[in-house]
Every structure is written in C-alpha cells, then in structure tokens.
Amino acid sequence: MSENHGDSVRDDIFSKAVRAGKRTYFFDVKSTRGNDLYLTITESKKRFHDDGNHSFEKHKIFLYKEDFEKFSEGLTEALDKIVDLRSGDNEFVDPEEEMEDENKHVDGNKFEKSEVFTDVNFEDLED
C-alpha cells in the first residue's frame, strides 16, 4: 500500500490490527520521504449516536526512530510495574473498591473500619 502526498509516495511497510474489547489498536510501520521508518499507533473506538448511527473516534501517536528505544523502555517499565502491583503483596487496590470495603455490612449493620473486631483467645494473653 502507498499513500500519495504531493509529489512524494509514502509506503506502508507493515500493518497489524489488534482487537481488544471495544477498541482496536493499529500498529503501522511506514517510511518517510527519506526512507526512514516510523511507527503509528492508532486507537479506534466505535461511538454510537442518539440517531442510531455510529462513527469511529481515533487517537494516533507517531513514533520516530530516534524515540524507539526510550519509548520501548518506558512502555516496558510501565507494564512491569503493573505486573508488580497486581501480584503478591503489592496488589493494586482500586480507590473506589477500597471505599466500598470501608463501608461493608455485617448482618445488615454498617460498621466503620475502626469497629472491625477479631476473635481473641484470652488464654493467649495470660502471662
């Protein structure tokens, strides 16, 4: 595939579409007039209108060769952090879920976090 822009021809070298739920991500490798390669990442989401028609909302990032390494490092670091926060003792807590947890009910009675009691074995407290 190629696109005409004035006197120049820009080639699409590679294209990969990734469907993820309600969104589709497009990864497109293209070449510049000087035959350098760059990447466009496009997020596309279908939007429905009140009249029943739809359109696609798109957001695009252009990533040039001088930024590939730093972008890759940043993305990898962010994804690794997500894995770290979602695993083991570092599990990420959604602030909304945390607020719901603070207002849990037991036997129909609402209690505050400070009102939570645990079973105590008094024999364990003896000298």
Find the helix or strand (DSSP H, E) in which 31 lies: strand 23-31
SS3 at position 22: coil
Distance CA 115, CA 127 (A): 27
CATH number of 2-105: 3.10.450.700
- Do residues 27 and 55 make contact, with C-beta atoms less than 8 angstroms apart? no
The ranges assigned to domains in the chain are: 2-105
Digit-coded pLDDT (tens) for 47-71: 888 998 989 999 999 999 999 999 9
Tokens standing for residue 95 = 């602030």
Q: What tens digit of pLDDT does each residue of 14-26 get?
A: 999 999 998 999 9
Contact at 8 Å (CB) between 40 and 28? yes
Which candidate, 45, 10, 13, 9, places its Cα nearest to that of 27? 13
